[in-house]
Amino acid sequence: MDSALWIRSYEDIALPIGLDQTISQPYTVARQTELLDLKAGQKVLEIGTGSGYQCAVLCELGLNVYSIERHRPLHERSREHLRELGYRPMLKCDDGTLGWSAYAPYDGIVVTAGAPVVPESLKSQLAPGGRLVIPVGDTSSQHMHVITRLGEDDFQEEILSGFKFVPLIGREGW
């Protein structure tokens, strides 16, 4: 975060990271990570690298992390910070609503921006038993959808109470 905000960095709130985006509230990062329910060595895709904080948490859990950010300055800054801190995720600057098919399937996919609908591309890149954790709603509030892939065209969906994210912008987003 910007050094002017360091004094607030341990508060459980969303803080600005530039380009009208925010680092998610730490509680939300923890909750989404918990809902992924992954074990060390599994493969996870994050949509919305932002500051790189959630990405670092996923790396700390021993996961193989892939993360996509659509804003180039955020992508570049988080890439630099993550490298400085010794994390080795695979990062790319692109529209994450389409997923990252080259490395699919994933044991977990976490979307850290609010979507209008669940992108079909992301569902199709889940491994059998894999989970997609994605906030879906309008631009003012969302519910967390936890979608588990049971078979080729068989998905189970659980919906959890209100969250507030910045919008997911893209082909299968806003």
Complex with ligand SAH: residue 23 or 35, whichever CB lies closer: 23
Say how far residue 107 (Cα) sits from the centre of its chain: 13
Complex with ligand SAH: residue 84 or 152, whichever CB lies closer: 84
Helix (H, G, I), strand (E, B) or coil at 15: strand
46: Cβ contacts below 8 Å, ≥ 6 apart: 54, 55, 58, 65, 66, 67, 68, 109, 110, 111, 112
Question: Per CB under 6 A, which region of 19-27, 84-92, 127-135, 147-155 contacts ligand SAH?
Answer: 19-27
Binding mask 112-141 for ligand SAH (x = CB under 6 A): xx----------------------------
Helix (H, G, I), strand (E, B) or coil at 34: helix
CB atoms within 10 A of CB 60: 12
Binding mask 37-76 for ligand SAH (x = CB under 6 A): ----------xx-xx-xx-------------xxxx--x--
Is residue 24 annotated as part of the catalytic site, yes or no?
Answer: yes
Complex with ligand SAH: residue 64 or 121, whichever CB lies closer: 121
Radius of gyration of the chain from Cα atoms? 15
Task: Report the first-to-last Cα separation within the chain, whole angstroms.
Answer: 26
Complex with ligand SAH: residue 89 or 173, whichever CB lies closer: 173
Backbone angles phi, psi at 137, to 5 degrees: 170, -150
List interacting residues with ligand SAH (CB under 6 A). Answer: 21-24, 47-48, 50-51, 53-54, 68-71, 74, 95-97, 112-113, 166, 168-170, 173
Catalytic (active-site) positions: 24
